[in-house]
Amino acid sequence: MRHSCVLILAVLLFTASGRSAARAQAGGDEEASGDLARQVQDVVEKLGALEKSLPAPADGKSSVWSKLSMNLGGYINLDASYDLAATSTGNYIRWIESEAGEEDDDEFNATVNATRLWLAIDGPGTESLATDAYFEIDFYGGGGENSPNPRIRHAYLEMKWPDLDFELLFGQTWDVIQPLHTPTVNYSVGWWMGNIGFRRPQGRATQKLHIGDVTLELVAAAARTISDPLFDEDVGGDSGFPTGQARAEIQFRPFPDYVDKPVVLGISGHYGEQECDEFSKDIESFSYGIHARVPVHEKVVILGEAWTGKAVCVYLGGIGQGINRTLERAIEAAGGWAAVSLGPFGKWRFNAGGLVDNPQNSDLNDRDRSKNSSYFGNVIYAVNSAVTVGFEVVYTETDYKNWEDGDSIRFQTQFRFSF
């Protein structure tokens, strides 16, 4: 690409110089023609020097103004939905608003905020060490609905020692805990409904051990303790030390001749503190849970998670409630989800599942959200290798302590072009 740019510029300059020189000679100005030719030659020499100074792409791969190999990708996405009742937040489901005074408040939403762009970078390495980096954004960073702001999802570097099956990661990416995601069209993948775990800055170490045909993966991270109204308007302050996260997971193939995909079974948990300056108390935040992904057929996978903990609002649990400022204590909650994924059958995929997030009532005030449950089913059709169309029906019910509950059915479509 660099050679092509220089060649094109040189051709254009020589063409222009030829025409200018011809015009100058026609007018009898030989000196002007000679000056122009010398100027063109000087520009060409400078372009050649610039071309040689550009860094060469690694491993002979195509690269744009970088000495490293890069891979750019993402997708353009439109989500459009119709809800029979008022839903938080509208573009995606967190919970259903109480129907006290707002019964049958239906709404329509459409957004391109889930549009995503990512960049994967292969770094330099040695015989024993490989390095790479990853950067990804979407457009849920605020702003107007037709002029949204970009938001960093992932930004991290990795150092890998393949011979040791050991990795270090530094940056922002998914939490170590509860690593699976519900196969739903809803953008929030079941957060606030029973699926916990988000993204945050961290330092992480991963070690894989192979025992016969079984792979044991051990992961530990020191993660930023985040206080953000996005997760809970009553969340506590920051902390003087990071939150610890850990996961242990085994992978094995019990019937390799029948199903090639591995069974995944794991446990995970976190522990940290939030400083609540308002009432001068440190609040413990912790969780522990299990997860499983079991392929029972090449085209049938059962998966799910279950957890319990306290002050899990910053992990998108407790229906967005982590600390009760009135009672000056953490809110305990438990939840989980299960789903089945079918396909592909030609160009078709099917998914269905259910979720629940259940805070402890004794930790809540009147009118707080006391239970959130949801059931979904969807179908995804691949128009071609780049375009998919999805349709989903979701029923969600949100209970409130000593207040009127809310429930709704959502009909959602998704149009996506991946590149």
Q: Is the dihedral of CA 61, 63, 67, 69 positive or negative?
A: negative
Q: CA 286, CA 310: separation in Å to the nearest integer?
A: 6
Q: Report residue 232's pLDDT band, with 50, 70 and 90 as the boundaries.
A: low
Q: Is residue 16 scored above 50 in pLDDT? A: no
Angle at 126 between CA 125 and CA 127, to 5 degrees: 135
* Average pLDDT score over residue span 8-18: 47
Burial class from Cβ neighbours inside 10 Å (0-12, 13-18, 19+) for residue 38 reads exposed
Q: CA 117, CA 297: separation in Å to the nearest integer?
A: 33
Which has the higher per-residue pLDDT, 50 or 184?
A: 184
Structure tokens at 58: 């690694």
Percent with pLDDT over 70 in the chain: 80
Q: Check residue 175 and give its pLDDT.
A: 97
DSSP label at 280?
T
Q: Report residue 404's pLDDT band, with 50, 70 and 90 as the boundaries.
A: very high
Q: Is residue 169 scored above 70 in pLDDT? A: yes
Tens digit of pLDDT for each residue in 20-69?
Answer: 444 444 444 555 456 655 665 665 565 555 555 555 544 544 445 677 88
Q: Is the dihedral of CA 197, 198, 202, 203 positive or negative?
A: positive
- Secondary structure of residue 207 in the 3-state scheme: strand
Structure tokens at 271: 């522990």
Q: Are 380 and 415 spatial neighbours (Cβ–Cβ below 8 Å)? A: no
* Average pLDDT score over residue span 248-254: 96
Measured in residues, the chain has a length of 419
Q: Check residue 281 and give its pLDDT.
A: 77
Q: How far is CA 167 from CA 170, 171, 178, 217, 271, in A?
A: 10, 13, 19, 11, 22
Average pLDDT, the chain: 87
- Secondary structure of residue 23 in the 3-state scheme: helix
Tens digit of pLDDT for each residue in 308-367?
Answer: 999 999 899 999 999 898 998 999 999 999 999 999 999 999 999 999 999 999 999 999
* C-alpha neighbours within 13 Å on the C-beta side of residue 6: 15
Q: Are 408 and 186 spatial neighbours (Cβ–Cβ below 8 Å)? A: no
Structure tokens at 293: 């992904």
Q: Are 313 and 334 spatial neighbours (Cβ–Cβ below 8 Å)? A: no
- Secondary structure of residue 316 in the 3-state scheme: coil
Q: CA 163, CA 231: separation in Å to the nearest integer?
A: 40
* Average pLDDT score over residue span 247-263: 93
Percent with pLDDT over 90 in the chain: 71
Tens digit of pLDDT for each residue in 267-296?
Answer: 999 999 887 767 667 889 999 999 999 999
% helix, strand, coil for the chain, step of 5: 15, 50, 35
Q: CA 387, CA 396: separation in Å to the nearest integer?
A: 29
Q: CA 272, CA 239: separation in Å to the nearest integer?
A: 8
Q: Report residue 9's pLDDT band, with 50, 70 and 90 as the boundaries.
A: very low
**What residues contact 5, with CB distance under 8 A and at least 6 apart?**
51
* Average pLDDT score over residue span 225-240: 60
Please report how the helices 30-53 and 2-26 are oriented relative to each other, as an axis angle in degrees rounded to 10.
180
Q: Is residue 6 scored above 90 in pLDDT? A: no
- What is the phi/psi pair of residue 20, to 5°? -65, -40
Q: CA 188, CA 191: separation in Å to the nearest integer?
A: 6
Q: CA 318, CA 13: separation in Å to the nearest integer?
A: 67
Q: Check residue 68 and give its pLDDT.
A: 84
Q: CA 337, CA 196: separation in Å to the nearest integer?
A: 10
Q: Check residue 34 and give its pLDDT.
A: 60
Q: Is residue 13 scored above 70 in pLDDT? A: no
Which has the higher per-residue pLDDT, 29 or 377?
A: 377
- Amino acid identity of residue 32, one-letter, is A
- Secondary structure of residue 361 in the 3-state scheme: helix
DSSP label at 123?
P
DSSP label at 386?
S
Tens digit of pLDDT for each residue in 116-139?
Answer: 999 999 999 999 999 999 999 999
Q: Is residue 395 scored above 80 in pLDDT? A: yes
